[in-house]
Amino acid sequence: MLVVFGYPFVIAALSASFAWGAPAPAPWPPKTGATWPDTPFTVSGRDIISASGAKVVYAGVNWPGAADTMLPEGLQYASIDSIASFISKLGMNVVRLTYAIEMIDDHFANSPHQSLRNTLVKALGSKAGNTVLSQILANNPQFNVSSTRLDVFDAVAAGLAQYQIYVHLDNHVSKAQWCCNNNDGNAWFGDTYFSVQKWHRGLGFMAAHAASWQGFASMSLRNELRQPDSDSPASPYTWNTWIKNALPAASVIHKHNPSPLIFFSGEGYNTDDTYAIQRQTWNHKTFTPEKYAFRNKVVYEIHNYQTKAKSCSNDIQPRLYHTAYCAMNLSDSSCPNHGPVIMTEFGFDQTDSSDQSVYAQCISSTLLQQPGGPGGWMQWVLAGSYYIRSGIKDYDETWGLLNHDWSDFRNRSVIDDYLRPFVAATLKPTVAKNSSNDFG
């Protein structure tokens, strides 16, 4: 049942609880001899474990690539290597790289829109499209006008691997556009653009395709599932519909590539994993990871944007615990589906002192204070600007860690006072503490 290499399990613990992993702390730092990437990763109890048996914690950032052009952002301003070097300077070890299912639909249709020139002209118009094209080619001369979007994704993954940064692939949307609304057609299974069949095909394709990326470690099912303005009777916004669609999707991924971890998110814009972690039953359907072929790959993801919160302990922490982090408390039987929890999105404006807000401080302290150590996180967002967002070309992103032209960090105070310490504390060895301090 458990396939984890070189990891000392306390077998007795297996039969004693629902947890299908043992709560024993994993060795840290990685055993000598383990070379990056040290994948595939597996899940044991509330931890992610590398191929050589070391505990893995993620600290990273979102690099969007799912909007209108379906290209990873920023390449008109900087080379992939330069962008990857900024991420590396932060000490981060993972990028959540987002993509649209439409990119894979175009691949299967052999669409002419896949080329760099055509996708830019389609998304930005002829004039701006060709300008951005020439800027991308000037900064990234390994590409040509006929390079495809997938060529660009491949190059981004390779560029990140140069800095030993893992790739977590995130299916952000079906139709490529800025995300997310209740009425954008991407909200829920069967929504206007959300064909379940194409989604499954896209997940399977990307799982197989990314197998050639050295640092490919994990992938999500879908970003921010949410109630569409009008959910259809055939696909109501219920937990039953989630299970019906999520399980086959995870199986498709696992069949095409058994290596990556699979991130599960619940409902409400990925702010609520309650049903999953509590193993709730709806119409006789229950999420029971230990029964699935991908049983040792299940990770829970959560987003949080309570940016206006007044109190960490009243407004944010109870909610995070109830909807997600309970899964990391192996001694809490109210959430029997235990596993690692990773906050794949949180973020704030870099220019208005938001780093000192209750929200930003609460996110970092809460994640770090998880008994047994943090699961991991990815901040929204790396991008200092977008090719186009909601119809506005060259959109300035004040939440971006990088500045508008991706030439430096946007605000060095935030980087030095908030982000660097958060990364360092997240990735520092966590199991040197007495194990009695850990759950279980």
Check binding of 361 to ligand NAG (CB under 6 A): no
> Nearest distance from residue 433's CB to ligand NAG, in Å?
5
Helix ranges (H only) for 22-148 are 80-89, 101-108, 116-124, 126-139
> Nearest distance from residue 18's CB to ligand NAG, in Å?
14
Residue 413 has a CB neighbour count (10 Å cut-off) of 12
Check binding of 356 to ligand NAG (CB under 6 A): yes
Q: Which is nearer to ligand NAG, 321 or 377 (CB)?
A: 321
Residue list 375-414, contact with ligand NAG (CB under 6 A): 411, 413-414
CA distance 263 to 341: 9
Binding residue (CB under 6 A) for ligand NAG from 212, 230, 351, 390 = 351
Check binding of 438 to ligand NAG (CB under 6 A): no
Q: Which is nearer to ligand NAG, 189 or 346 (CB)?
A: 346
Helix (H) or strand (E) run with residue 261 in it: strand 261-264
Q: Quick one: how far is CA 269 from the chain centroid? A: 13
> Nearest distance from residue 254's CB to ligand NAG, in Å?
29
Residue list 84-143, contact with ligand NAG (CB under 6 A): 143
**Phi, psi dihedrals of residue 96, rounded to the nearest 5°:** -90, 105
Q: Which is nearer to ligand NAG, 156 or 246 (CB)?
A: 156
CA distance 67 to 387: 9
Contact mark string toward ligand NAG, 284..323, x via CB under 6 A? -------------------------------------x--
Q: Which is nearer to ligand NAG, 205 or 321 (CB)?
A: 321
DSSP symbol at 31:
P
CA distance 157 to 215: 7
What is the total count of residues that contact ligand NAG (CB under 6 A)?
20
Token pair for residue 100?
Answer: 């649209």
CA distances from 30 to 9, 57, 70, 340, 432 (A): 17, 12, 36, 18, 13
Check binding of 331 to ligand NAG (CB under 6 A): yes
Q: Which is nearer to ligand NAG, 180 or 358 (CB)?
A: 358
AA identity, residue 93: N
AA identity, residue 423: V
Check binding of 434 to ligand NAG (CB under 6 A): yes
Helix (H) or strand (E) run with residue 417 in it: none
Angle between helices 149-161 and 116-124 (to 10 degrees): 110
Asked if 346 and 380 touch (Cβ cutoff 8 Å), the reply is: yes
Residue list 134-153, contact with ligand NAG (CB under 6 A): 143-144, 146-147, 151
Residues near ligand NAG (CB under 6 A): 143-144, 146-147, 151, 321, 329, 331-332, 351, 353, 355-356, 371, 411, 413-414, 433-434, 437
